Structure 1
């Protein structure tokens, strides 16, 4: 049986060019730069999908996130990974293709670094998040998410993407 740690990822350089491949567990352990997607999902009322990660997640267990997403598999495009991850994590099969917004290099300075493609999508379906990935979820108004930014423990890469997304929208 394969585990998430066995998933093969493209390893990329500072310009997002593929320089090798590695199992996810090894990429995390050695701090190898790879690719991830962040999808901001909203319901038809415009509320944000927010969830708490399960304690069994390889990275940032039990923290809150305002994005769905994950790693881009070896040979997979960002766009394909965004749709796959959004449908998997939301537990739906009829999402429109998420809309690409921008990409940035996340680097926490402590060995966690990945190219991060940020997307948005509207979800008109009832969600059924993966129990292996999501311990709690709800759709919250953006003002409520803002109020909880200092009260809840959020995944640091999601916070970085959220701040960049707010700046991106403010810039027009």
Structure 2
């Protein structure tokens, strides 16, 4: 199945399911849906950072501190977090990501929004990211990530989630 054909739950401002639609239609019409953001840390507490491939439907070629993606129709946030983390990191047998907090992301232009859940996971396995998802990757310290925030172009929803995560931990 092509990514744009994947069926997603459409949700309201309270995260209640109101219908279903293919991902391509959800994106084209700006329908509210669900996403997960998983911060992956290695054994040395460094953060997995990657640049998305140029072929991604949303935010191509931008950097992100999270792995994750859309929650499929009928799928739980927790199941999506584990699935997406294993897929994007290219590992199996990852521990279940720890749920931290939900938030409603609204795009800067206000035309798109999605319910988001932020997670964290420890990945001590050797990673082998999906070539179709990840164009570059590395594990960076928090200080390195902070330095790169002003240098690289980041996905806006991931940046919003990262800022919320820092506030959550403060």
Task: Specify if TM > 0.5.
Answer: yes
Check conservation: 1:30, 1:111, Cα contact below 8 A: no
Query: Does residue 136 in structure 1 map to residue 136 in structure 2?
Result: yes
Q: Structure 1, unaligned stretches of length 5 or more?
A: none
| Aligned-residue offset at 1:94 | 1.3
CA distance in 2, matches of 1:22, 1:58: 16
Which residue of structure 1 aligns with residue 117 of structure 2? Answer: 117
Which residue of structure 2 aligns with residue 20 of structure 1? Answer: 19
Which residue of structure 2 aligns with residue 32 of structure 1? Answer: 31
CA distance in 2, matches of 1:57, 1:3: 12
SS of structure 2 residue aligned to 1:22: strand
Shift >4 Å, 4+ stretches: none
SS of structure 2 residue aligned to 1:11: strand
SS of structure 1 residue aligned to 2:50: strand
| Aligned-residue offset at 1:165 | 0.2
- Give the count of matched residue pairs: 169
| Aligned-residue offset at 1:132 | 0.3
Q: Structure 2, unaligned stretches of length 5 or more?
A: none
Which residue of structure 1 aligns with residue 2 of structure 2? Answer: 3
Q: RMSD between aligned alpha carbons?
A: 0.5
- Using the size of structure 2 for normalisation, the TM-score is 0.98
- Using the size of structure 1 for normalisation, the TM-score is 0.97
